[in-house]
Copies of this chain bind each other. A is one copy, B any other.
């Protein structure tokens, strides 16, 4: 950590290094898209990023955003994530340790988690099949805490009968 305002110096260097190595060109669009991307939280759909970029410069085209996201992926700054709907999401990849996702099928919230044991076990499984893993993605679908509550409310309201005490496990 160097300063208060996020400078993303390292990331930008990585990007420029990548550009240089490949004989590509540094353009204002690419700079802008990178900046906007770096300021976002995790799991941004390509199109969402497009809208954010639009706000800052309405002249940037959708195509450029899509292309630049691929470029960022190549550069190791972003990582493609498929959450299960059709879309492609991107998350930060530079200096971000690997993690997996729990996705609430009710509200769509995405919880990130990491387990070294899980990782190790997966590698062991791959080994067993002489499979050489490059990366993996684990998605656990289900209900987040909040939505389990709601579910319960609905259920008890629907069943109508015994007004039993509901174990409320509030969060936040």
A residues with CB within 8 A of B: 82, 84, 86, 102, 104-105, 111, 113, 115, 117-118, 121-122, 125-126, 128-145, 148, 169, 171
Contact = CB atoms under 8 A, between A and B. Distances in A.
Q: Within the oligomer, what is the number of copies of this chain?
A: 2
A16 to B, nearest CB: 28
Nearest to A138: B138
Q: Tell me the dominant secondary structure on chain A's binding face.
A: mixed
Of listed A125, A126, A128, A141, residue having the most chain B CB within 10 A: A125
Given A82-B82, A82-B84, A84-B82, A132 B142 contact: yes
B113 A132 contact: no
B132 A148 contact: yes
